[in-house]
Structure 1
């Protein structure tokens, strides 16, 4: 390759990098300014708590039907599901905070 071809290749790469950087900046601005992003995150956190809670209740009801005990497995699994869901939501919020 000649020096002229090297210069053209370098310019093409620099142009591509600049284009990608501008696109990323526009996406970050749109991401942080959008109220839909906040609502989406709110919904994600809600589902992150709701799904383990409902799964815990279902498991607890199943255990209560199978095991004769003074312990209410539904309540135990409910609390475990809520705790797991809150931990899950906390990780999601931390990850989204780190990405910004």
Structure 2
């Protein structure tokens, strides 16, 4: 083999390596942000609505001097924010590893 064949073979090897690397470690999808945004929204919305519904039921069953609905609505928001915060931290750690 001559010098030109060696250069061609090494160029083919470099290109194959880049292609394999791109296939094994694809970049982040543009739609991944929408998925994360939706997951964070659901993480806050579900506990908030659940707390409000439970509060409405408790207001009918066990009335108190305060509103169960407002208390559990606020509690649901707080729990949802902590869940969303966990998701954001997890997604950030996943991005750091790639």
How far off is 1:43 after superposition? 0.5
Distance 1:62 1:38 in 2: 36
- Consecutive unaligned residues of structure 2, counting only runs of 5 or more, are 1-16
Matched residue of 1:90: which SS? helix
Report the count of equivalent residues: 76
TM-score, normalised with respect to structure 2: 0.72
Cα separation, 2, equivalents of 1:24 and 1:53: 40
Q: CA deviation at 1:24?
A: 2.9
CA separation in 2, counterparts of 1:85 and 1:35? 25
1:76 matched to 2:63? The reply is no
What residue is the counterpart of 1:24 in the other structure? 24
TM-score normalised by L of structure 1: 0.70
The alignment status of 1:89 with 2:84, answered yes or no, reads yes
Which entry has the higher C-alpha Rg, 1 or 2?
2
Superimposed CA distance per residue, residues 22-76 of structure 1 (whole angstroms, 9 cap, x where no aligned partner):
34312xx1xx2x2211111100100000000000001100110111211100000
Task: After TM superposition, list the pairs within 5 Å mapping 1:28-67 onto structure 2.
Answer: 29=27, 32=28, 34-67=29-62
Q: Name the Cα RMSD after superposition.
A: 1.5
Unaligned runs of 5+ in 1: 1-17
